[in-house]
Chains A and B, each alone.
Chain A
Amino acid sequence: MSGSHAHALHYHGHSPVHHLPAEIKLVGLLVFVLSVVSTRPTAIWAFSGYALILMIALGLSEVPARFFITRMAIDLPFVLFALLIPFVGVEPKIAIGPFAISEPGLLSAWNILVKATLGAGASVMLAATTEVPDLLRGLQRLKVPVVLVAIASFMIRYLDVVAGEFRRTRVAMAARGHNPRTVFDAKPLAVAGGALFIRSYERGERVHQAMLARGYDGTWPSSGNERIAAKTWIVGLTPALFAVIVAIAARLL
């Protein structure tokens, strides 16, 4: 879908990964993440395998490393949490310099760190190579209940609208001298949030009227169902297939 303004997470491109149907990428992501989380943390070589798969996919997608790494910032809270665990973990502890580090804690830290990073990396890849409308259509073709897809679609559609309204309210408050410094100054913000909720609710009613006016009768019109060739599925799921092989090998070895 060229020509559309993209989301901040999206990198416009024409690579084979971009052109892959969204449902294949969704299934691939799910299989990859399940393989990663089902691997025991001590199988360090397996995680190198997963990272390699991800890096090859990244290379094929032509998404610049810099773009990818900056979007990986979403992983930071997990990293910080993981780094904390060895210091608060249980016995036995080992002494490293002045610190007593928990051994099981160290292992859990590694476990969280590597799995969260690989999962976030794969998700960032999906977001970078797939436009939002395609993702929604992919979910619909994967037979995710249409009501859920519709809710997700409305959320994406109106997030900007509602955020824009809140921004304007904030500016209007600042223009009349509101300058929140402490938690006690938060009341006007909370009131504005409440007003925004009511406005959004009323907007919801107007949108519903607009839907009724165009013949909405409670069932969502289904989008076209182009058949995807078996070959495309197989090629598209190759990285996920390798991940499954790595996961099985890690279990057996």
Chain B
Amino acid sequence: MIGLKVTDLSFHYPDRTQALNGINFQIEPGERVGLLGPNGAGKTTLLLHLNGLLRAAEGTIQVGDLTLSDEVLSEVRRMVGFVFQDPDDQLFMATVAEDVAFGPANFGFGQAEVDRRVESALAAVGESDLAPRAPHHLSGGERRKVAIATVLSTDSALLVLDEPTSNLDPAGRRELVNLLASLPATLLVVSHDLPFVLELCPRSLIIDQGRIVADGETRQLMLDRELLAKHRLELPYGFDPANIADR
């Protein structure tokens, strides 16, 4: 497992919109961290930096003991597994097996090793039977799990997930929590689903207007109604973090 260190990260889009404004935080190996914030706060923009899909004007990103740069881009992309918000964007091959094989094949593994990785990644998400199926014929929950398998197959040690519970039914959401909690990986999870983050991530960051405005124990952050309200975060009706037992 590897850690992540982001130092003084700033980024603006070509239209001069300042999306990130001096971001600093550190994640220890094996930690599970939630990233919360209102729409447009810069959550997805931050995630896209972590494996170099967007390149910051200022600041550094350290993944494990590598500092992100052109020379180590491929290596960093192998270590950071990115699970996109819409599985239809992530699953683009004709069959599930080919999709899970896409990463390992790109990173230059031989056919036998690729096959082995596909098998073990699908087994890890409990969906070995889906291998020959076409991604567009799967249910939402199955798609999400296969999307996670596509990054597990490259041995990603840091998983970055963008809104993993969107469009999942409650049972699918439950299975996802169990799956993610069982993975031997460092997790950074963007979500509007606060109970999900509370259950999965002992620690959370709150980002608003391109800045980290809070960093602490998830439960403590969620008990601070004033802080939540200030950053347009809301707990579901009747949900009280004080009454929820630790996982």
Binding site for B on A (CB under 8 A): 1-5, 132-133, 136, 153-154, 156-158, 160-161, 203, 206-207, 209-217, 221-224
B101 on the interface (CB 8 Å rule)? yes
10 contacts between A and B (CB under 8 A): A1-B132, A4-B134, A157-B135, A160-B136, A209-B84, A213-B51, A213-B77, A214-B106, A217-B106, A224-B111
- Given the complex, which residues of B lie within 8 Å of A212, measured CB to CB? 53, 77
A-B pairs with CB below 8 Å: how many?
A: 90
**Judging by beta carbons under 8 Å apart, are A210 and B90 in contact?**
yes
Q: Given A157-B92, A215-B103, A217-B74, is A210 in contact with B84 using a C-beta cutoff of 8 Å?
A: yes
**Judging by beta carbons under 8 Å apart, are B84 and A206 in contact?**
yes
**Judging by beta carbons under 8 Å apart, are A213 and B53 in contact?**
yes
- Given the complex, which residues of B lie within 8 Å of A2, measured CB to CB? 132
- Given the complex, which residues of B lie within 8 Å of A3, measured CB to CB? 129, 132-133
Interface majority SS on B: helix, strand, loop or mixed? helix
Q: List 9 tightest A-B contacts by C-beta distance, closest first.
A: A221-B105, A215-B106, A214-B103, A133-B94, A5-B137, A213-B82, A206-B89, A210-B90, A224-B111
Alpha-carbon distance between A97 and B115 when the two chains are bound, in angstroms: 69
Q: Which residue of B lies closest to A215 (CB)?
A: B106
Q: Which residue of B lies closest to A156 (CB)?
A: B94
- Given the complex, which residues of B lie within 8 Å of A221, measured CB to CB? 101-102, 105-106
Binding site for A on B (CB under 8 A): 48, 51, 53, 74, 77-78, 80, 82, 84, 86, 88-90, 92-95, 98, 101-103, 105-107, 111, 129, 132-137, 150-151, 154
**Judging by beta carbons under 8 Å apart, are B134 and A5 in contact?**
yes
**Judging by beta carbons under 8 Å apart, are A154 and B51 in contact?**
no
- Scoring A160, A203, A211, A213 by chain B CB atoms within 10 A of each residue's CB, the highest score goes to A213
**Judging by beta carbons under 8 Å apart, are B94 and A215 in contact?**
no
- Given the complex, which residues of B lie within 8 Å of A210, measured CB to CB? 82, 84, 89-90, 92
Alpha-carbon distance between A161 and B91 when the two chains are bound, in angstroms: 12
Q: Given A213-B51, A213-B82, A215-B103, is A4 in contact with B133 using a C-beta cutoff of 8 Å?
A: yes
Alpha-carbon distance between A161 and B80 when the two chains are bound, in angstroms: 28
**Judging by beta carbons under 8 Å apart, are B154 and A214 in contact?**
yes
A132 to chain B, nearest CB (A): 6
Alpha-carbon distance between A213 and B48 when the two chains are bound, in angstroms: 9
Q: Which residue of B lies closest to A153 (CB)?
A: B94
**Judging by beta carbons under 8 Å apart, are B102 and A214 in contact?**
yes
A151 to chain B, nearest CB (A): 12
A9 to chain B, nearest CB (A): 14
- Given the complex, which residues of A lie within 8 Å of B84, measured CB to CB? 206, 209-210, 213
Contact of B94 among A5, A157, A217 (CB under 8 A): A157
B46 to chain A, nearest CB (A): 14
Alpha-carbon distance between A215 and B103 when the two chains are bound, in angstroms: 6
Alpha-carbon distance between A14 and B53 when the two chains are bound, in angstroms: 45
**Judging by beta carbons under 8 Å apart, are B95 and A207 in contact?**
no
Contact of B78 among A4, A209, A215 (CB under 8 A): A215
A198 to chain B, nearest CB (A): 16
- Given the complex, which residues of B lie within 8 Å of A223, measured CB to CB? 98
Alpha-carbon distance between A217 and B73 when the two chains are bound, in angstroms: 11
**Judging by beta carbons under 8 Å apart, are A161 and B74 in contact?**
no
Alpha-carbon distance between A212 and B74 when the two chains are bound, in angstroms: 9
Q: Which residue of A lies closest to B160 (CB)?
A: A213
- Given the complex, which residues of A lie within 8 Å of B150, measured CB to CB? 214
Q: Which residue of B lies closest to A205 (CB)?
A: B89
